[in-house]
Structure 1
Amino acid sequence: MGSIPTLPGIESRMVQTPRLQQHVLMSGPAEGIPVLLIHGNASSATFWEETMLALPPAYRSIAPDLRGYGDTEDRLIDATRGCMDWVDDLLSLMDTLGMPKFHVAGHSLGGSVIWAMLATAPERLLSVAVFCPGSPFGFGGTKDLQGTPCAPDFAGSGGGIVNPEFARLMGEKYRGTEHQASPRTVMNSFYWKPPFRHPREEELLSGLLSERVGPDRYPGDLEPSPYWPGVAPGKFGPANAISPKYVGDSVERMLAAEAKPPILWVRGSDDQIVSDFSLFNMGTLGKLGVVPGWPGEEVHPPQPMVGQTRWVLEQYAAGGGYFREEIIPDSGHSPHMEKPEVVNPLFHAHLEGGSR
């Protein structure tokens, strides 16, 4: 059983795989069509519960806590493999559960994991849904639609760009609001568009605070850099794992793969975390004057995260795949939680199309 109370209809269990002991939430019929749900950073499987319960009766939902999060066994994340520790964990989980093919949906960092999964095992995926995913080229440190790095060492991405106060308060399991960088304040300011408040705020905050914190966990390590803003990626933890330094050739492999499952891309119109002017991106913060010494638009512009995702998906479609982009009005970084009455019908129709 997990440490966070679940809604009625959600089963919480530990699954031992060849790689690690993984905490998993499940719902729906045991023989149902599997839907794997991958949560984001500073989050956990708890964030999927309402989405799970809303699925049509033919589906079996599987929402694990990723390595480094929740009640899953604590294991180091080797960031030099990009998202591959997570991909290998998840494929091993689905093997253990006897589910060779499945639908997959990912939110935020979970979407970044899916890009790597599409490069690795696309033939196993019945359909793909990404909700406000990280750019296929990684988070931070790139400057154009094709993901060109701003600096040779990928400065401006990785563990060094995380607000240390946020990470410190996470490590202390701080539940208050006295600090601007308090986890509760960040969640209610950026995970959704204010004034939205989720009815299960306390459980979601517990999920956020479940992430492992430390120099080799979150935010991870860093390397000093001669390039602005003076920090380059280290080798451990989730923030380094989504650095463009370690994405490698996953975009090329995803585009070259024969199997191309249909992709639904859903994003909030007012997302401030993943956007072309993200408030979590060094280029944006430099341009706004928040981080001093900004070298200018030519050298380190705000990362065009949405533009990069669209560019990659257009190449995917040109190579024989299919994608659909849906922008949910008046919502932030979690439209599936903010506007389930709008997003669930889109998601369910997409699942039905991929199940045929």
Structure 2
Amino acid sequence: MDARIETKTIQTDRLLVSYLTAGVPEGEPLLLIHGNASANLFWDDTIAALCDQYRVYAPDMRGYGASEALPIDATRGLRDWSDDLHSFIRALGLPTPVHLAGWSLGGGIAMQFAIDHPQEVRSLILIAPMSPYGFGGTKDIAGNPCYSSFSGSGGGAVNSELVKRIAAKDMGNESPSSPRNVMNQLYFKPPFQVGPEQEDRYVRAILSTRTGEDFYPGTFEYVNDWPGVAPGTKGITNAISPKYVNLSGIVQMEPKCPILWIRGADDAIVSDQSLADFGTLGKRGYVPGWPGEDEYPPQPMVSQIRDVLEQYQRAGGSYQEIVMENVGHAPHIEKAEEFIELIRKTVRA
């Protein structure tokens, strides 16, 4: 890791937060929020590239990395993380508004923070963000659920073998479900790979994800609706279920900050045909009993994001969508130089 980047901890009024930081004292604060099954180490090159212009902070969010492992109340959607972020900013004594960038789940957290504290966000950068209507179980751009049970989302909708291998701290590549192979197949667009040392660092970041009922993936219930599992009330994957999260309220936020949405054209995770979504898996024949396109289509995640941002723009805000070709779920890593240039051009005082 770049020698300029420091690893620090701070006690907030909610939890003990571990974070990476670097930058010029006079620079504006830029906060980087990581995604699911990751940690702040996925930002190391981004921090190094931007620390000459900003004061950059990348916290490990609740349930990840070296921050205090406190349970996640899924019934609050993303608000546990939004509240944690607010207390982190307060504990550091940062001047607001801040620039806020979130990747994947972190994009959802950033949107929730902007809804909760609109006066405190100068600009919002959404990097392959989750849909405003959560992950799994919805069928149209308005985020309506396929079934009232919200089946196909939540703690039962994850790769249980991946969870086991995270819990076992598996650094290998023998299984298709090993964290290393999942990262290289789904986080990045093959054949892209980072160097061996950085790859090991990223895998260790994935392995820092806390597992269990209070964390990843969380609890779930068996239901009659296809595919047979519905959200529980605890843990990470339930917190991103459409049963508990709806970020379309960002349309009404005031004041409205500029939004930059960056995504990979070949993202396999956040997509209108996501390989992590039961609608897609059923349609492709990987999960038996699929009830069909009318009843349980693939979740139109990108279309849902665009529709909400179009509403945001019609309500007086502004957004820009940047699509990076030949890129998967991690634009800030796969096309780092292009990504950094976008940030420098967009995030201005």
TM-based fold match above 0.5: yes
Matched-pair contact (CA < 8 Å) for 2:24–2:51? no
In the alignment, residue 267 of structure 2 is paired with which amino acid?
D
Number of equivalenced pairs: 346
For 2:305 and 2:272, locate their aligned partners in 1 and report how far apart those are by CA, in whole Å: 10
Q: Which residue of 1 aligns with 2:184?
A: 188
For 2:240 and 2:345, locate their aligned partners in 1 and report how far apart those are by CA, in whole Å: 30
In the alignment, residue 256 of structure 1 is paired with which amino acid?
Q
Aligned residue among 194, 217, 220 for 2:218: 220
Structure 2 length as normaliser, TM-score?
0.97
In the alignment, residue 311 of structure 2 is paired with which amino acid?
Q
For 2:245 and 2:229, locate their aligned partners in 1 and report how far apart those are by CA, in whole Å: 18
1:83 and 2:78 are equivalent in the alignment? yes
Matched-pair contact (CA < 8 Å) for 2:114–2:120? no
SS in structure 2 at match of 1:34 = strand
SS in structure 2 at match of 1:22 = strand
Moved more, 289-298 or 29-38: 29-38
Q: Which residue of 1 aligns with 2:58?
A: 63
SS in structure 2 at match of 1:147 = coil
Shift of 1:31: 3.6
1:177 and 2:147 are equivalent in the alignment? no
For 1:299 and 1:96, locate their aligned partners in 2 and report how far apart those are by CA, in whole Å: 47
1:82-130 CA distance string (max 9 Å, x none):
0000000000000111123200000001011122112111210010001
1:38 and 2:61 are equivalent in the alignment? no
Q: Which residue of 1 aligns with 2:92?
A: 97
1:312-334 CA distance string (max 9 Å, x none):
00000000000000000111000
Matched-pair contact (CA < 8 Å) for 1:15–1:23? yes
Q: Which residue of 2 aligns with 1:48?
A: 43
Shift of 1:236: 1.2
SS in structure 2 at match of 1:247 = coil
Matched-pair contact (CA < 8 Å) for 2:268–2:275? yes
For 1:180 and 1:57, locate their aligned partners in 2 and report how far apart those are by CA, in whole Å: 40
Q: Runs of at least 4 residues of structure 1 off by over 6 A?
A: none
Matched-pair contact (CA < 8 Å) for 2:171–2:179? yes
1:157-192 CA distance string (max 9 Å, x none):
011000100000000000111111110000011111
Q: Which residue of 2 aligns with 1:156?
A: 152
Aligned residue among 207, 228, 249 for 1:230: 228
Q: Which residue of 2 aligns with 1:107?
A: 103
Structure 1 length as normaliser, TM-score?
0.96
Q: Which residue of 1 aligns with 2:337?
A: 341
In the alignment, residue 132 of structure 1 is paired with which amino acid?
A
Q: Which residue of 1 aligns with 2:347?
A: 351
For 2:212 and 2:169, locate their aligned partners in 1 and report how far apart those are by CA, in whole Å: 13
1:167 and 2:167 are equivalent in the alignment? no
For 1:145 and 1:136, locate their aligned partners in 2 and report how far apart those are by CA, in whole Å: 10
1:24-69 CA distance string (max 9 Å, x none):
1001023421001000001000000111111162310000000000
Matched-pair contact (CA < 8 Å) for 1:262–1:323? yes
SS in structure 2 at match of 1:244 = coil
In the alignment, residue 183 of structure 1 is paired with which amino acid?
P
Matched-pair contact (CA < 8 Å) for 1:56–1:348? no
SS in structure 1 at match of 2:156 = helix
Shift of 1:343: 1.4
In the alignment, residue 317 of structure 2 is paired with which amino acid?
G
Moved more, 282-291 or 194-203: 194-203
Seq. identity, %: 50
SS in structure 2 at match of 1:162 = coil
1:12 and 2:7 are equivalent in the alignment? yes
Q: Which residue of 2 aligns with 1:137?
A: 133
SS in structure 2 at match of 1:63 = strand
In the alignment, residue 348 of structure 1 is paired with which amino acid?
R
Shift of 1:344: 1.1
1:228-258 CA distance string (max 9 Å, x none):
101111111111101000014x41x321122
Aligned residue among 24, 44, 68 for 2:19: 24
Structure 2: which 5+ residue stretches go unaligned? none
Q: Give RMSD over aligned pairs.
A: 1.0
Matches within 5 A, 1:198-213: 198-199=194-195, 200-213=198-211
Matched-pair contact (CA < 8 Å) for 1:131–1:335? yes
